[in-house]
Amino acid sequence: ASLAAVRASEDAIHAFLLVDEEGARARAAEVQKKIDAGELTGPLAGVPIAIKDNICTKGLATTCASKILQNFVPTYDAEVITRLEEAGAVIIGKTNMDEFAMGSTTETSAYGVTKNPWNTEHVPGGSSGGSCAAVAAGEVPMALGSDTGGSIRQPSSFCGVTGMKPTYGTVSRYGLIAYGSSLDQIGPVAKDVTDCAALLQTVASYDAKDATSMKRDDYDFMSALKEDVSDLKIGIPNSYFGEGLDPQVKESILKAADVLKARGAEVEYFDLDLIDYAIPAYYVIASAEASSNLERFDGVKYGFRAKEYEGLHDMYKKSRSEGFGPEVKRRIMLGSFVLSSGYYDAYYLKALRTKALIKQEFDRAFEKYDMILSPAAPSTAPRLGESLSDPLQMYLGDIYTVSVNLAGLPGITVPCGMDDKGLPIGMQLIGDCFSEKKLFRAAYTYE
Ligand code: GLN
């Protein structure tokens, strides 16, 4: 059924970079036997799933939507893939994304744009736009995305699906092609909160292969799915609802707050400072880490190599010049600049200090509140092409998501309305580290 849905939708949506029809069929048959024999009983047994193309899949091309990785076929699986296989999930294919997860619209992909299933003249958001569009179009019930500064939560909002960025360290990054290693987390995208929790508990684990992996006491996220918010205190930051927020988005989020209140939660406005510093700090840190992480793509070890060159340095130069797209180059240049001698203290170190202050500000908020309610994005999905001409404007669209990554916190996006063009609006719930269960419960009660 999933493959039929893919066939029916892909011409219009282009959510996938690769559909592994043969592999999925074989795998489904094998899983069915195990289900029949009672060997597979978990919630993901036999469930079709799509994987963002920056997550390594053994034997299946993994390109990060970049020309530089066009021929790269990993020889190993990411830890999340091993977990999915053990649980009996069936991988349908790999989804489109912004090149190396840098972007907010999926338009920086080297392999064409993905369209928003609600209105194909609009973007699906990004960078996990392919994963979110695949779920929204009903091609798969769930998908994996990655979130460095909002890449699960923002496209989930634009596509009307549910997506979570877990606490940093909850899901192994082994086999996730790094963008900003201190910010990156893999997370679930699904049609509802229950599926999101089922997927997260399947892929979350302590993993010694990821040095920043965390051992948690409890991975049973589905046990949190109860309709009760009577013990929860929810804070709404005043500064998140000022200038720059689309009035229709604002109205939907505040209505969602009323719903949570009516269901028993205590809801209160409060001051959360430092929001103005989140975007500059994020783009300095993320670009710095990216410039270092992307050094390995030099035309030697992976995928693409320029056809004509003179000598080794020229080969590096031409391969990277031809292999990376403009947004990735912009980030590499920015990152190399802020890390270079003479600028390091003024930019990179200052951004790290700002990150620490933002974390402190959140810590203060969580002394008083169980969670924070906010928009996921300042607007609904922009039209195709609208964001590409002005990168700075695109960066500003990440205002509600990037601080969550800087502080390592979990955040979930749940659909909460539509604008007058019929485009979905999502609300974001942000919790303290390790509070995923509370977030799932609040989202489940709201839904
Ligand atoms: N839009 C942000 C960026 O371009 C976030 C992307 C992400 O989370 N991967 O960096």
Examine the residue annotation and report whether 255 is marked as an active-site residue of this protein: no
The confidence score (pLDDT) of residue 274 equals 86
Examine the residue annotation and report whether 52 is marked as an active-site residue of this protein: yes
Beta carbon of 179 within 6 Å of any ligand 1 atom: yes
Residues 158, 116: contact at Cβ < 8 Å?
yes
Examine the residue annotation and report whether 182 is marked as an active-site residue of this protein: no
* Interface predicted TM-score (ipTM): 0.98
Beta carbon of 125 within 6 Å of any ligand 1 atom: no
User: CA-CA distances (angstroms) from residue 287 to 57, 183, 334, 429, 434?
Assistant: 26, 11, 6, 26, 27
Q: Is the pTM of this model over 0.95?
A: yes
Of the candidates 2, 9, 104, 127, the residue annotated as catalytic is 127
Residues 323, 297: contact at Cβ < 8 Å?
yes
The 10s digit of each residue's pLDDT in 318-340 is: 999 999 999 999 999 999 999 99
Beta carbon of 154 within 6 Å of any ligand 1 atom: no
Task: Enter the tokens of residue 342.
Answer: 């003479």
Using the predicted structure, report yes or no on whether residue 10 has a pLDDT greater than 90: yes
DSSP label at residue 221? G
- Give the integer Cα–Cα distance in Å for 285 and 240: 22
SS3 123: coil
Q: What angle do CA 206, 80, 166 make, to 5 degrees?
A: 65
Beta carbon of 202 within 6 Å of any ligand 1 atom: no
Q: How sure is the predictor about 389, in pLDDT bands with cuts at 50, 70 and 90? A: confident
The count of C-alpha atoms lying within 13 angstroms of the C-alpha of 161, restricted to the half-sphere facing its C-beta, is 36
List of domains in the chain = 2-222 (3.90.1300.10)
User: CA-CA distances (angstroms) from residue 49 to 43, 152, 391?
Assistant: 13, 16, 32
- DSSP secondary structure of 291-348: HHHGGG-SSSSSS---SS-SHHHHHHHHHHHHHS-HHHHHHHHHHHHHHSTTTIIIII
The confidence score (pLDDT) of residue 243 equals 87
